[in-house]
Homo-oligomer: A and B are copies of this chain.
Amino acid sequence: MTTLHIDLGNLPALALGCTVFAGGGGGDPRIGEQMAMEAIREFGPVEIRSLDAFDDDDLIMPCGMIGAPTVMVEKIPNGAEGRAIRETYERMFGRPVTAVMPFEMGGINGVLPVAWAAYAGLPLLDADFMGRAFPELQMLTPHLYGMSGSPAVITDERMQTVVFNTRDNIWLEKLVRNCVASLGGSACGGLYPMSVGQARRPAIAGTVSKAIRMGETIRRGGGDPIDSIVRVAPVVRLGQGKVVDIERRTSGGFVRGSALIEGLGTDKGRLFRLEFQNENLVVLEDGEPLATVPDIITLLDIHTGHGIVTEGTRYGQRIQIVAFPSPPVWTTAEGLRAVGPRAFGYDFDFLSVADRHA
């Protein structure tokens, strides 16, 4: 087992990889990257460790930002939120947190926990609970195993904390979402705290190091970015085009909306409709789905291969629409009930890009 670190050298690659796996969501990673950079400068690189490197009783802290990515870009954390979450959990559990973990590997949430780990002098777990980004709190893998997201801790840049113990994870989503809206639309949080032993089943392993590899590949560049990407993860091209319309509304702690993409080159004459709730949910063509959650639908800059986050989508952008097959845990019957198209109100079933195009 080689020891991997996140340092000033590979941090930009991690941030870039996070835009690719986020499915458009998770917030612009540049804010988290900036904070992680400052933290690493001050406290040194952050060690990345797999679950196997810990004892079963070790306490992990899954954490990140919660709320609308459109708000996150303007409502910057102050850096101390991670400490507020950690101290609250340590008081509650009566033992120290042993490792920091991104609860979702995508957007700002793949990078911000690096800053919190650096400040705390703790390692970062090479795993997350989504294998991508999703908008709601019951859309984490432990939910599928009947595990509770409580106690959840929400904190803001004013160092206020709110601790939730709810009957189930649907109530948790409802109460936390509302609290985050009251706090201005985004906040930082810890969810599904558990021991390493408990985390072995739900954790999706290797997602941090995979995002770094993805970012490094794209940064090396040369030729069609997709040729680089496919070396790290199977990816399906859905089409290329130009963003000709984008509509976003931020309310209740989410950003929802859609984008219209007119085909270019070999896709001239086609019209794609992308719909999102923080993350990209479906791509439609002539009213029929081309790809759906939980597959990871990402808009890539046609030249650089950088992922474009929901709030960064602009009229005129030239993009590739690609999809990565979902982590397998989400394509079970249980998984699809939580994060399939019907969980987001669509009247059609999941359509695996792996089956159709890969």
Contact = CB atoms under 8 A, between A and B. Distances in A.
Nearest to A155: B165
A167 B161 contact: no
A158 B168 CA distance: 10
Q: How many copies does the complex hold?
A: 2
Contact of A158 (B158, B171, B181): B171
B162 A167 contact: no
A179 interface: yes
B167 A174 contact: no
B165 A162 contact: yes
A183 B179 contact: no
Interface string A151-166: 0000000111111111
A182 interface: yes
B167 A158 contact: yes
A176 to B, nearest CB: 9
A179 to B, nearest CB: 6
A175 B179 contact: yes
Nearest to A153: B163
Q: How large is the interface on A (under 10, 10 to 19, 20 to 34, 35 or more residues)?
A: 10 to 19
A10 interface: no
A251 interface: no
A332 interface: no
Interface of A is mostly: mixed
Contact of A162 (B160, B175, B183): B175
Contact of A179 (B159, B165, B178): B178
Contacts of A160: 164-167, 171, 175
B178 A167 contact: no
B162 A162 contact: yes
B166 A163 contact: no
Contacts of A181: 178
B175 A165 contact: no
In this complex, the member of A158, A162, A164, A179 whose beta carbon has the largest number of chain B beta carbons within 10 angstroms is: A162
Interface in A224-255: none
A163 B150 CA distance: 12
Interface of A: 158-167, 171, 174-175, 178-179, 181-183
Given A159-B167, A162-B163, 16 more contacts: A158-B167, A158-B171, A160-B165, A160-B166, A160-B175, A161-B164, A162-B162, A162-B175, A162-B179, A163-B163, A174-B182, A175-B182, A175-B183, A178-B178, A178-B182, A179-B179
Query: Which 10 residue pairs are nearest across A and B when measured between Cβ atoms?
Result: A178-B182, A163-B163, A161-B165, A160-B166, A158-B167, A162-B164, A175-B182, A160-B167, A178-B178, A174-B182
